[in-house]
Structure 1
Amino acid sequence: MSDKKIDDVTGISTTGHEWDGIRELDNPMPRWWLWTFYATIVWALAYTIAYPAWPLISSATNGMLGYSSRAELRTELDGAVAARADYAAAVAAAPVEDIIADEALRQFATSAGAAAFKVNCVQCHGSGAAGSAGYPNLNDDEWLWGGTPEDIRVTIAHGIRFEADGKTRFSEMPAFGGMLGRDEVTALATHVKALGEGGDLSGPGAELFANNCASCHGEAGKGDITLGAPDLTDAIWLYGSTSADIAAQIRAPRHGVMPGWIDRLGETTVKELTVYVHSLGGGQ
């Protein structure tokens, strides 16, 4: 049963709803609002006819205007590729040193290299290229295989200990755990730690170092980039700097593998990566 009544003051019928003695008037919607509502309905119908809208089993209606967001994106991408084509061609044709010397090319290659680094390199070297245990920090001045633009390019292109590439850089430290006793390994680790901390170098580890390590790391422990032998006199340690870490590396060394990227990314992207890595601050 309807409880609608006519309001005595306004003469307007109520909706039949009542809260605590307060009745709701059944006022009609404002004309402007009603016409706006109708207009949105007409607009929605027109939009679904003009543009892709109605889902079908395996596609959707194409719309009378033939608009496609995929086609629009492809046009924008093609425009971006065309805009950078001249720079990309110049990078492809120039040696890395010439790219770095040219301000415009260097900026282009650095930006492109930064994007390629985020896709391919951050998994190991980190988003800031600071590395982690077993993965070199690319921001410092220590380079196992040299930090010149060409050195960096070769490392990126062919990798380290990457057997799938015949031009990969390869070095391997022997496991001295099978050649030296426990006390000798401890003495050698103590000597190596002292090299980087300025400690006493006259202990029993000195002779062990001269006989077993100097051929690669040098008599003073400065390393050799032609062999990929690290400098043992600085504060940069790939696998840790404690005596236990050093002893473990002497006893059974770990050897990381970096893939060669030339076949996956191509020469141009490798150059762009080279310029970016060189720009991080540690390039020679």
Structure 2
Amino acid sequence: MSKKPDIDKFTGIETTGHEWDGIKELNNPSPRWWLIVFLASVIWAVGYWVVYPAWPTLSGNGERGGTKGSMGWTQYDELKEQQAEITARKAAYLTRFEDASFSEIQQNPELYAFAVAGGAAAFKDNCATCHGTGGAGSAGYPNLNDDDWLWGGDINSLHDTIRFGVRSSHDETRFSEMPAFGDMLGEAEIEATADYVLSFTTDAVPTDMGRQTYEDNCAACHAEDGTGDKSLGAPNLADAIWFYGNDRADIMSQIRKPKHGVMPNWEARLDANTIRQLAIYVHSLGGGEE
């Protein structure tokens, strides 16, 4: 004997027999629009399986061991075509880029845009770890956006610095070394020298000892007025830009036992065109010199 169906007294619709906390589930059919969409999706899926590679385990004759699909299309072939197009466009610019001087590149909008784009990509891959994605640097890593340059900020100087590195293994590397004055000067002389250096940019009051010690030991590289010497890689002490810190303790520490950073020579890793693009890109950041 069949069980009498349970009819909801409010809607007059048969229930499924399920009930939760007095709430009954109505046995309504699925909406027609939903069924149409579902059937269309099934038909679309079957067609997709036939036309495109979709079953990697059913055949060993297709791309990477799967079914080929009736169109013979694969994402790998599409990627190869896109890469070939990019390579061809790049080659067309590279031919002109290789034969042009820096000044010619700067005066040609197309070549300049090509160089900056290539340099930006290379910078993110190779330089951003130390100098930051925007070239702002950090303590011990130069800011490439300002106009303060240890070895010069014109494109040719930037190119040589990138190519040969700083204190790197290259025979033509940029090289400078500040002596450890902690082995030569007394503590009072170091303190006085730090105060004298601070007097270039602050209201610190220099002493005769500080002035004399600076002139005897520091002026040969940093100049008497503290403006430095780019030919020696000697920092400018008369601006507000500091490499290893700008308070008295930082300056005294650098006088006692100076820190010396190392930049690799990128000639060992990057090709000549990429190095030139990097030089143009760094120069374009805003702090480059003419």
State the TM-score, normalized to the length of structure 2.
0.87
Letter in 2 for 1:41: V
- State the partner residue of 2:57: 56
Query: What is the Cα deviation at residue 80 of structure 1?
Result: 1.9
- State the partner residue of 2:75: 69
The structure-2 alpha-carbon separation of the partners of 1:31 and 1:174, relative to structure 1 and needing over 3 Å to count, comes to closer
1:271 maps onto 2:284 in alignment: no
- State the partner residue of 2:39: 38
Q: Is the 8 A contact 2:173 2:265 kept in 1?
A: yes
Q: Is the 8 A contact 1:2 1:16 kept in 2?
A: no
Q: Structure 2: how far apart are the matches of 1:266 and 1:6?
A: 81
Q: Is the 8 A contact 1:262 1:270 kept in 2?
A: yes
Q: Secondary structure at the match of 2:200?
A: helix
Match of 1:93 among 85, 91, 99: 99
| Residue pairs, 1:128-207, within 5 angstroms | 128-163=134-169, 165-197=170-202, 199-207=204-212
- State the partner residue of 2:90: 84
Q: Deviations over 1:127-150 (max 9, x none)?
A: 221111001111111110011110
The structure-2 alpha-carbon separation of the partners of 1:238 and 1:31, relative to structure 1 and needing over 3 Å to count, comes to closer
Task: Let me know the Cα RMSD of the aligned residues.
Answer: 2.7
The structure-2 alpha-carbon separation of the partners of 1:3 and 1:87, relative to structure 1 and needing over 3 Å to count, comes to farther
State the TM-score, normalized to the length of structure 1.
0.88
Q: Is the 8 A contact 1:223 1:230 kept in 2?
A: yes
Q: Structure 2: how far apart are the matches of 1:157 and 1:15?
A: 78
Q: Structure 2: how far apart are the matches of 1:266 and 1:29?
A: 65
Q: Is the 8 A contact 1:125 1:131 kept in 2?
A: yes
In the alignment, structure 1 segments of 5+ residues that lack a partner are none
Q: Which of 8-17 and 44-53 deviates more? A: 8-17
Q: Secondary structure at the match of 1:169?
A: coil
Q: Structure 2: how far apart are the matches of 1:11 and 1:174?
A: 97
Paired residues in the alignment total 283
Query: What is the Cα deviation at residue 6 of structure 1?
Result: 7.9
Q: Which of 52-61 and 235-244 deviates more? A: 52-61
Q: Structure 1: how far apart are the matches of 2:4 and 2:171?
A: 92
- State the partner residue of 1:260: 265
Q: Is the 8 A contact 1:91 1:271 kept in 2?
A: no
Q: Structure 2: how far apart are the matches of 1:162 and 1:85?
A: 31
- State the partner residue of 1:240: 245
Q: Structure 2: how far apart are the matches of 1:217 and 1:21?
A: 89
Q: Structure 1: how far apart are the matches of 2:190 and 2:20?
A: 90
Q: Structure 1: how far apart are the matches of 2:247 and 2:21?
A: 80
Query: What is the Cα deviation at residue 158 of structure 1?
Result: 1.0
Letter in 1 for 2:140: G
Q: Which of 248-257 and 76-85 deviates more? A: 76-85
The structure-2 alpha-carbon separation of the partners of 1:8 and 1:217, relative to structure 1 and needing over 3 Å to count, comes to closer
Q: Which of 230-239 and 114-123 deviates more? A: 114-123
Query: What is the Cα deviation at residue 110 of structure 1?
Result: 1.2
Letter in 2 for 1:85: A
Query: What is the Cα deviation at residue 226 of structure 1?
Result: 0.7
